[in-house]
Amino acid sequence: MKKTTYTFLFFITALIGCKSETLETHIISTPIIAKAASVQRINTEAVGQKFAIATQGDHSTKAALQMFSMGGNIIDAAIAASFTLAVERPQSTGISGGGFFLFYEAKTKKTYAIDFRERGPHLVKENMFIDKNDVYQKSRSKNGILAVAVPGLVAGLFEIHQKFGSLPFEKTLEPARQLAENGFPVYPNLSEALLDRADILRQDPSASSIFLAKDLKPWPVGHILVQKDLAASLRKIQRKGRDGFYKGSIAKALIQLSKKENGLIDQMDLDNYHVRWREPLHGQFHGYEIFTMPPPSSGGVHVLQFLNILEKDNLAKHGIFTAKSIHLAGAALQEAFADRAQFLGDPDFSKIPVKALISLPYAESRRREISLDRARKANEVKMGNLQHYESSDTTHFSIMDDQGNAVASTQTINGWMGAGIVIPGTGIVLNNEMDDFTAQVGTANMFGAIGGKPNSIEPGKTPLSSMSPTIIIHDQKPLLSLGAPGGTRIISCVAQTILNYLEYKLPLYESIASIRYHHQWQPDILQIEMPGPTKIELKKLQDMGYEVSLSPVGCNVMAVAREGNNFHAVADPRDIGTSASE
């Protein structure tokens, strides 16, 4: 069914008082569609009864669909989507990257939280990006070999498939391999990323030969991007599974590059890479059960903290885009990000006070600190690099099926085009996940986020993430699976989408397409997507003391909801994502 028809029916259904089997629709708030989401794109929304998929790419959604049509299960579909995203979005994710995977298994009613994020190589030093004058050399944690952390994606996807997949592993990689072999037209976001990173890509002959033309200009929109070396690498992984990446010729080429460029990664790092199966975080919001990613993601902690702080305010009574609602939500985000900077890091290295951070009494005490009519200033205001606020690195997909299973997975190579270097002869773009560590306490990373001691660089440690794959359960069945790319903005975007859907009762499409706001404590700016709230509400926010920036928030939510007997998938219309269902 087309989006407009579907939305119209949703409103009619709501107005005549019918209730969806799973979600009451007693309040319909008025969305304000973000300018970036107002372009009508095809296939962003799908409704079906057997399964539904939303990914950030057309080929990736089709790859997942193909697995279902071959008789595969939700995990086969998720693995196929992951590898295809690695080909289709080389600016966002890739087989040198990592990610988090949340899986609600209907059979056991258990939610698994699988962490296959990159880890610090064993030779790293806490101050490796600080020069002798005590100055943080920012470009070294972003560009080139020292920015690269030990990749986890292939190990993670292989292990998940071993445990839960049904089709042969090889088949789940085939759509990705074919796409790399045959190519696809460069689309605007990819072209923008190549342009943004052209200066770095130009310095690496392997990256230039794939992503730049002969005159070293980035490929324009419409150019067919063929990645033959990447296709051959995928073939090796098809044949050898995990070992296809961590041993053999790919590993050898990576280690050789690392040696040549004075990098730190060696074979011991690859041999010692372990996927971590973690306990998901659990919270409740208005009676809905929320399962989300624990540390080393900060995302889950702060999504829950945000919802806890605001639950008793029943924001719907103030209206969705009023100054009061935006202020309360913005102030809750400000508090969450201040805590993130202080407390969050890898739980295998420091004690992270998760229980306290997501407890209701703590949320109540934090809520009491927020006045109803005044913005608070951060003590030390440091501006982030606003140039990076529009980047769309990282990717997310969500899937649900009629067996009652749900997947939410967020995967990344960190910044656009990762470290800007490619392992020679493999087509694999290396991540720059080392930038997610706190290189220097009190100094901002590429997302303008300040980090604390628990996120300092250490061998084998996982850099702090904001990736927030989340699954919401209601009536003992998955109700909503969602997540987003976008660095620190992920937390705000996921939290607000939940608020839009569960508190303001917007339809799923509008929950995603409505304007978003983001406040990350430092920089001390309330960012609101264009066109923003009404002029009157905007003025009220400014009068409260907010410095408001009407600018893109820069994340894209992919979600699937169970609505009655239907699964409803929405890929954020701000980007090229698509949905499919049957």
Q: Which residues bind ligand GLY (CB under 6 A)?
A: 394, 412, 414, 436, 465-467, 487
Strands (E), 196-350: 224-225, 276-278, 281-285, 288-292
Strands, E assignment, 15-95 = 45-48, 51-55
Please say which residue, 412 or 497, places its beta carbon nearer to ligand GLY.
412
CB 398 to ligand GLY: min, Å: 17
Helices 169-182/153-164 angle, 10° precision = 140
* DSSP secondary structure letter of residue 49: S
Residue nearest to ligand GLY (CB): 465
Number of Cα atoms under 13 Å in the Cβ half of residue 291: 28
Residue tagged 């095809």 (tokens)? 42
Cα–Cα distances (Å) from 326 to 105, 309, 338, in that order, read: 36, 13, 18
Nearest CA-CA partner of 216 in 229, 230, 197, 192:
197
C-alpha span between 432 and 92 (Å, rounded): 11
Amino acid at 431: N
559 DSSP β-pair partners = 482, 570
CB nearer to ligand GLY: give 485 or 532: 485
Q: Which is nearer to ligand GLY, 164 or 389 (CB)?
A: 389
Minimum distance of ligand GLY from residue 153's CB (angstroms): 13
| Catalytic residue status for 13 | no
Q: How far is the CB of 487 from ligand GLY (least distance, A)?
A: 5
SS3 state at 566: strand
Nearest approach, Cβ of 437 to ligand GLY (angstroms)?
Answer: 11
CB nearer to ligand GLY: pick between 82 and 394: 394
7/414 with CB nearer ligand GLY: 414
Asked if the peptide bond before residue 205 counts as cis, ω within 30 degrees of 0, the response is: no
Residue placing its CB nearer to ligand GLY in the complex, 3 or 197? 197
User: Among the options 292, 322, 394, 578, which is catalytic?
Assistant: 394
Q: Residue type at 399?
A: I
CB of 523 to ligand GLY, least distance (A): 17
| Cα 331 from chain centroid (whole Å) | 22
CA distance 482 to 498: 9
The residue (of 225 and 467) whose beta carbon lies closer to ligand GLY is 467
Q: How far apart are CA 245 and CA 151, in angstroms?
A: 10
CB of 541 to ligand GLY, least distance (A): 27
Rounded least distance, CB 352 to ligand GLY, Å: 16
Residue 392's nearest CA partner among 83, 86, 36, 92 is 92
Which residues are the active-site residues? 394
